[in-house]
Amino acid sequence: MQLQQQQRPPPPPEHAVGFLKYEDELLYITETCTVIGRNSSTSHVHFHVAENNLVSRKHFQVLFDPETRDFYVQCLSKNGIFVDDFLQRRNADHLKLPASCYFRFPSTEIRIQFESFLHTDSSPPDSLAGSHNNMSNSSMNNNHHNISSSSSSASSHHILSGHGGGSSGGGGGSQRQSEVCFLDDPKTKVE
């Protein structure tokens, strides 16, 4: 039995500020707001995780503040979301994220890796090396990639590739707005 060689992900887009990874799915964060959850016929998210009823359609969002270059998480689900081992609840103040952490959906083993490119030496981690990470004044789109071996069937995640995020609050801490991002809102482009 021959082991498949692990395929390296494509290099991050020039304007990527971080990434989310779940199993073989990878999303480079290039928006100020990235919604994570479960796609349905009436609702689409930037990062679709699983067809599991314990994952809400819009479960949580990762917010990026380009002024402070900090990331925050806002829980949108009554189930909450674990950030490493801390349970973040809906309606709680936005939680500032460390440079690297895991999100876990309660009552599941579904874990999403989060990594910021901005809290290190401004370059992607070794596991994603291959491109520089520079911020500029042009618009950005979240770029979603399947990093498993190539197949002819397209992942439903690719449908979202190139769609914008929505509005996120400015400022920091509890002053941030509590609205949910909208996928095609141009106000979320990082400039």
Strand order through the sheet with 111-116 = 86-88, 81-83, 100-104, 111-116, 18-22, 25-29, 143-146
Count the neighbouring beta carbons within 10 Å of the beta carbon of residue 181: 25
Domain boundaries, the chain: 18-116
What are the beta bridge partners of residue 6? none
pLDDT tens digits for 26-36? 999 999 999 99
Give the C-alpha distances (Å, rounded to integers) separating 109 from 50, 55, 66, 138, 175: 11, 11, 32, 38, 32
Judge whether residue 162 has pLDDT over 90.
Answer: no
Residue with tokens 């949910």: 180
Judge whether residue 155 has pLDDT over 50.
Answer: no
Task: HSE, CB side, 13 Å, CA atoms: give it for residue 142.
Answer: 35
How confident is the model at residue 43, as a pLDDT? 86
Judge whether residue 10 has pLDDT over 80.
Answer: no
pLDDT tens digits for 64-113? 999 999 999 999 999 999 999 999 999 999 999 999 999 999 999 999 99
How confident is the model at residue 39, as a pLDDT? 93
Maximum Cα–Cα distance for the chain, whole Å? 56
Which of 18-27, 67-76, 135-144 has the lowest average pLDDT?
Answer: 135-144
pTM above 0.85, yes or no: no
Q: How would CATH label the architecture of 18-116?
A: Sandwich (2.60)
pLDDT tens digits for 73-82? 999 999 999 9
pLDDT tens digits for 114-137? 999 996 544 444 444 443 333 333
Q: What is the mean pLDDT of the chain?
A: 73
